[in-house]
Structure formats: C-alpha cells, structure tokens
Amino acid sequence: MKTSMDGWGSGLIGVIIFSGSLPATRVAVADFSPLFLTSARAVIAALLGAALLVVLRQHKPSRDDLFSLAIVALGVVVGFPLLTALALQYITSAHSIVFVGLLPLATAVFAVLRGGERPKPLFWLFSVIGSAMVVGFALNSGAEISLVGDLLMVAAIIACGLGYAEGAKLSRTLGGWQVISWALILALPLMVVIALLTLPESWGGIAGGAWLGLAYVSVFSMLVGFVFWYRGLAIGGIAAVGQLQLLQPFFGLLLAAGLLHERVSPLMLLTTLAIVACVAGARKFAR
C-alpha cells in the first residue's frame, strides 16, 4: 500500500510540473521556431542528464534496453515536443486541453500493449468518463479549431502515450531519471545537428518570456518532471497513475489564476471535483 501511495505522490508531482509545459511552449514559439525549440530543449536537458549520470556514476544501459530507449526518445524527446510546438502555431494552449484529456487513455492503452498491464473493465469506464469530461470542458471554452493543429496534437498524444508507457516499463529495472537521461543522450547527436541548422537569425529580438519558456521546458518539462513521473508510473502502475494526467489542465488553470489573477469559474471547480472522482475510481479498479 505504501509503495502504491508513493507512486501516486511521485506521479502527482510530475503532473504539476508538466502542467506548465504547454503554456511555456506557447510563449517560446512566439520567438523560436518549433524545430529549434524542440532540439534546444533536448540538448540542454541531455547535458544536464549526462552530468547527473557521470556524477552519480550510473551504469550504462544494456543492449537489450536500447530499443526501448529509442522508443522513449522518439516519443517524449522528439515526437511530443516537436508535434505540440508545431500544433501551437495553429491552436491556443487552452484548446490543447482537448487533447491532453485524451493522454491518460492513450497511456493506459499502451500500458496494456507494451507494459503487460490488465486493468479491470470498470477502470476503462472511469478513464473514458474522465477523458470525456476534460474534452467537454475544453470544447465548452469556445476555443477556435484548426484541422492542422488538431491532427498534430492527435499525433503528439499517441507519441507521448507510447513514450510514457515504454519509459515506465524500463524504469522498473533502469530507474526513472536514468531512463529519461539515457533517452536524451541517445537523441543528442540528432538534436545538436537540428539546433545548429535552425539557429535564430537574430538573438536580439527574442523576448524574455521566450527565454523563460525555453528554460522551463528544457529543465522541468524535459528532465525534472520525468524524474517524478516515470518513478510514479513504475511503482504505482502505468495505467492507474497515468490517470493523474486528467488533472493537468486544471492545475494549469489554477496556476494561471494564482499568478495571472485569472478568474476560476464554478464550472471549472465542479469539473475538477468530478475528475478527482474519476481518478479515484480508476485507481481502485486499475489492477
């Protein structure tokens, strides 16, 4: 029981950290190209991860781990950051909530396909209801719809769900922060080349907000968040702890209310309470 609770607590911290990712990306792509932002954040995070691996004297992954690490790299180091950065040129970060609401379901599907988990039928009921409520809340916000942006976000969610499930499975033997660090290093050569080819023509016109956005997605979204997230998924169950992502949009809205003094509507509060109930139900029937 204690291990399960530790997993949920660690996963919750990861979700809170990730809640700032899409708004930070939205700010950063105002001055950085999506390709540069994707590659630069990966390069910065890879250098930090490599330093940790060296300082803490971690063993290299085995050859058998390389395929899984490649899937993690393609899913969460390259795929999700690049596809969301491209999508956020066409849609707002608020509209992206529609797709973030589908991420727990995608993660659960890949937990079955790649992680070998077998949740009970009632788990899928709570998962679908929770996802539907997040999507419904986002659509009710009246955000504009872009077919290109929406298709890019669908692809991003599929890539991310696969990367989450694969990384969590590998974390059981390799360790959570080690998985994301080695995945970043595996993608580093390609990311360095892309970063050099897509350097901004001028650094002078880049606003401070874009730099802060780059810093956040590089340090927190790309590395620190995964330390907690992969640990939570590995010890608490991929499908079960993955349902915590249903709360991510609402953490982001609460963050906006606290920092930007935006209004928190009664509908948001009621929807959040309903989502918490769905997460609790999914947790009960996850195994």
- Give 13-24 pLDDT, tens digit per residue: 999 998 888 778
Question: Pseudo-torsion of CA 30, 86, 41, 175, nearest 10°?
Answer: 140
Is the Cβ–Cβ distance between 222 and 41 less than 8 Å?
Answer: yes
Q: Which of 1, 8, 65, 19 is nearest to 255 (CA)?
A: 19
How much is the average pLDDT of 224-249? 85
Out of 98-107, 159-168, 177-186, 267-276, least confident range: 267-276
Question: At 95, is the pLDDT very low, low, confident or very high (cuts 50, 70, 90)?
Answer: low
| Residue matched to tokens 């940790």 | 52
> What is the identity of the amino acid at 63?
R
Pair of tokens at residue 134: 């997040």
Q: Which of 79, 51, 94, 40 is nearest to 216 (CA)?
A: 40
The percentage of the chain sitting over the pLDDT mark of 70, rounded to a whole number, equals 87
Indicate if the pLDDT at residue 262 is higher than 70.
no
The 3-state DSSP composition of the chain as helix, strand, coil percent (nearest 5) reads 80, 0, 20
Question: At 255, is the pLDDT very low, low, confident or very high (cuts 50, 70, 90)?
Answer: low
CA 127, distance to chain mean position in Å, is 18
pLDDT of residue 151: 86
Indicate if the pLDDT at residue 270 is higher than 80.
no
pLDDT of residue 48: 96
Q: Which residues of 89-117 are buried (b: 16+ CB within 10 A; e: fewer)?
A: ebbbbbbbbbbbbbbbbbbbbbbeebbeb
| Cα(196)–Cα(43) distance, integer angstroms | 11
* 0.75 surpassed by pTM: yes
| Cα(120)–Cα(274) distance, integer angstroms | 20
Out of 4-8, 61-65, 182-186, 265-269, least confident range: 265-269
pLDDT of residue 141: 61
The percentage of the chain sitting over the pLDDT mark of 90, rounded to a whole number, equals 36
How many domains does the chain fold into? Answer: 1
CA 186, distance to chain mean position in Å, is 19
Indicate if the pLDDT at residue 98 is higher than 90.
no
DSSP per residue over 107-161, as a string? Answer: HHHHHHHTT-----HHHHHHHHHHHHHHHHHHHHTT----HHHHHHHHHHHHHHH
Indicate if the pLDDT at residue 176 is higher than 90.
no
| Cα(69)–Cα(50) distance, integer angstroms | 15
pLDDT of residue 139: 67
Indicate if the pLDDT at residue 150 is higher than 90.
no
pLDDT tens sequence across 34-76:
999 999 999 999 999 999 999 999 989 998 899 999 999 999 9
Q: Residue length, the chain?
A: 287
**Which helix H or strand E contains 106, and what residues bound it?**
helix 103-113
Indicate if the pLDDT at residue 189 is higher than 90.
yes
pLDDT of residue 113: 81
Indicate if the pLDDT at residue 91 is higher than 80.
no
Indicate if the pLDDT at residue 162 is higher than 70.
yes
The whole domain housing 249 covers: 2-284
Cα angle vertex 10, ends 61, 211, to 5°?
80
Q: Which of 45, 51, 67, 64 is nearest to 221 (CA)?
A: 45
